[in-house]
């Protein structure tokens, strides 16, 4: 199936490595995901499949609703100056065990680290570019709370076997991430519109 195959693009494989290999997510842990685009929503699905409880953090209510449909246990609307780390710590009873910055900004990186409980693991999966490439990190808190700061980028070829096994077993359903399909002609309009606003979920251009 073309659409299902397309849903297994870079975003899903990237999220898989970030959650399972780098984040070492275990059953019963709390996983916070900051930024619920394609990578973030994939991370929520994967963390849930591994038995974790998940927190979706985003600024778009419709995106948070989509995250809920994919299994997010807790939603945090980051608009309006909300203290995101405090909201995550309160909702999880002390903070996330693992937190992913799936967007890649100074704000989401800071919030991801700050929402962790002691000995928590921050995974930086969103690319940091331009003005966001050198975010300030409170190293005093990293040391005092023995936090881990991990990077994650892509998925090695030899790791695809375990990912495909979870899909074959029905534990992961990447097609559920597809919000809509468009024609090749509509794809041009969709790409232009992404300069103004991000689409919800994954959009597949079907030839």
Q: Which two tokens stand for residue 23?
A: 């984040």
Residue 3 maps to a domain: no
Q: Is the pLDDT of residue 199 over 80?
A: no
Contact 111, 96 (CB under 8 A): no
pLDDT bracket for residue 200 (50, 70, 90): confident
Average the pLDDT over 91-108 and give the result. Answer: 98
Mean pLDDT for the stretch of residues 97-108: 97
- Name the band, by pLDDT with cuts 50, 70 and 90, for residue 42: very high
Domain that holds residue 133: 9-151
Residue 57 and residue 30 in contact, taking contact as beta carbons nearer than 8 Å: no
86 domain-assigned: yes
Distance CA 154, CA 17 (A): 7
Task: Please check whether residue 176 lies inside any domain of the structure.
Answer: no
State the average pLDDT for the chain. Answer: 93
What percent of the chain shows pLDDT beyond 70?
99
In a domain, 175, yes or no: no
Number of domains present in the structure of the chain: 1
**DSSP summary character for residue 57:** E
pLDDT class of 81 with cuts at 50, 70, 90: confident
- Residue 1 belongs to a domain: no
For residue 98, list its beta bridge partners.
31, 121
Q: Assess if residue 137 is contained within a domain.
A: yes
Q: Indicate which CATH number applies to the domain containing 107.
A: 3.40.50.720
Kindly tell me if the per-residue pLDDT of 198 is higher than 80: no
**Residue 189 covered by a domain:** no
Is it the case that residue 194 has pLDDT exceeding 80? no
Q: Per the domain annotation, does 177 fall within a domain?
A: no
Record the pTM. 0.92
Closest CA to 200 of 13, 7, 41, 4: 41
User: Average pLDDT of 178-206?
Assistant: 83
Low-confidence winner among 2-6, 143-147, 151-155 (lowest mean pLDDT)? 2-6
Q: How confident is the model at residue 10 (pLDDT cuts 50, 70, 90)?
A: confident
């Amino acid at each position: 199936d073309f659409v299902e195959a397309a849903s297994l693009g870079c975003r899903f494989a990237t999220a898989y490595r970030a959650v399972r290999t780098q984040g070492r997510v275990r059953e019963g842990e709390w996983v916070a995901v900051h930024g619920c685009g394609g990578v973030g929503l994939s991370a929520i699905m994967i963390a849930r499949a591994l038995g974790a409880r998940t927190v979706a953090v985003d600024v778009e209510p419709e995106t948070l609703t989509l995250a809920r449909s994919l299994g997010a246990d807790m939603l945090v609307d980051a608009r309006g100056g909300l203290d995101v780390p405090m909201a995550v710590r309160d909702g999880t009873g002390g903070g996330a065990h693992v937190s992913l910055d799936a967007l890649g900004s100074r704000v989401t990186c800071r919030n991801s680290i700050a929402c962790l409980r002691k000995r928590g693991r921050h995974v930086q999966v969103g690319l940091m570019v331009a003005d966001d490439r050198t975010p300030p990190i409170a190293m005093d808190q990293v040391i005092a709370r023995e936090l881990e700061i991990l990077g994650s980028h892509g998925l090695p070829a030899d790791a695809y076997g375990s990912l495909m096994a979870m899909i074959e077993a029905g534990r992961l359903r990447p097609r559920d991430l597809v919000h809509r399909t468009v024609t090749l002609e509509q794809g041009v309009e969709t790409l232009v519109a992404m300069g103004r606003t991000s689409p919800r979920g994954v959009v597949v251009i079907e030839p």
